[in-house]
Amino acid sequence: MPAIKAVALEGLPEIHVNDDLAQLIADAMPAGAPVAGDVLVLAHKAVSKAEGATRRLSAVRPSERALELGARLDKDPRHVQVVLDESREIRRAENGVLIAVTHHGFVCANAGVDASNAPDDDTLILLPRAPDSSARALRARLGELLGNSPAVLITDSFGRAWRHGQIDVGLFAVGHVRNHGFVRRVVDLEGRAVLSILPAAVDQRLTRLTNEALDRCAQRHHIDSGIHLVISCCNHPCVGPGRALRSVRFEPAVPAGGPIIGRLK
């Protein structure tokens, strides 16, 4: 039976802008890793910090719209302004949360803007600006340092519509990572022909397992799971030749006059 083994990379320092992220990862790799079929899974904040995708709240001047939304949602209007800057649409503003469409095309809370694991109270961490390019460059640099290039998967935690709690999801991937499966016609128990939809194997297996490995590492060391990095050693159908993960990210169709608070140009 195909197996997946997840190993948290320990001993990584706090990541700062212009750090050589690939070198830090290479130094923390377990002996003998990576091997063919391995996948390096990173929380996006590791990439964002190294690339300087952050904002200082003290340098933000909130607009009138940010002031209004901040008062309505009981949020710092400077934080709201950063969310607006990182969004092309705001679809909902309720219960202290802005549901936004990022410039990448993701629909998520607060456009991925987050203060957790920031170096200080004045810093917000953003999604990487060009994460596909970041993943490719990181993989190429790891190949130079290690002589072997693992696939690279960048993740984030997303909420789910109408439900409490968050789950880790794969955002961007380069290399031999794929969502295993395909749309195919099958027959149900009553003999009716139905379509079986592509399962999100990357989210179901890789990101879930690596998040569990981070949690266990955090428990051992009494630290936040902002350790950021996990190496997944895989011999599994979701690792192998196939479409890149980003190829299944669809542009949402938004009807004119739909329930949108405001579309950002």
Q: What is the pLDDT of residues 30-73, one digit of tens each?
A: 888 888 778 888 888 989 999 999 999 999 999 999 999 999 99
Where is pLDDT greater, at 165 or 118? 118
Taking CA atoms, 5 is separated from 37, 153, 170, 240, 247, in Å, by 11, 15, 17, 16, 26
179-216: b (≥16 Cβ within 10 Å) or e: bbeeeeeeeeeeeeeeeeeeebbbbbbbbbbbbebbee
CB atoms within 10 A of CB 86: 22
Confidence of residue 227 (pLDDT cuts 50, 70, 90): very low
Euclidean distance between CA atoms 42 and 24, whole angstroms:
13
Least confident segment among 3-17, 19-33, 66-80, 93-107 = 3-17
Least confident segment among 18-22, 49-53, 157-161, 237-241 = 237-241
CB atoms within 10 A of CB 247: 11
Selection from 143-147, 222-226, 227-231 with the highest mean pLDDT: 143-147
Please report the domains of the chain, with CATH numbers, ordered by start residue: 3-52+129-252 (3.30.1330.100), 54-127 (3.90.1660.10)
Cα angle: 248, vertex 252, 256; to 5 degrees: 165
Question: Residues, the chain, total?
Answer: 265
Q: What is the DSSP letter of 103?
A: T
Q: What is the pLDDT of residues 100-156, one digit of tens each?
A: 999 988 889 999 999 988 889 999 999 998 888 898 999 999 999 998 888 888 888
Euclidean distance between CA atoms 112 and 128, whole angstroms:
10
Q: How does DSSP assign 172-237, residue by residue?
A: EEESSB------EEEE-TTS-EEEEPPP-HIIIIIIHHHHHHHHHHHHHHTS-STT-EEEEEEEST
Beta pairing partners, 167: 158
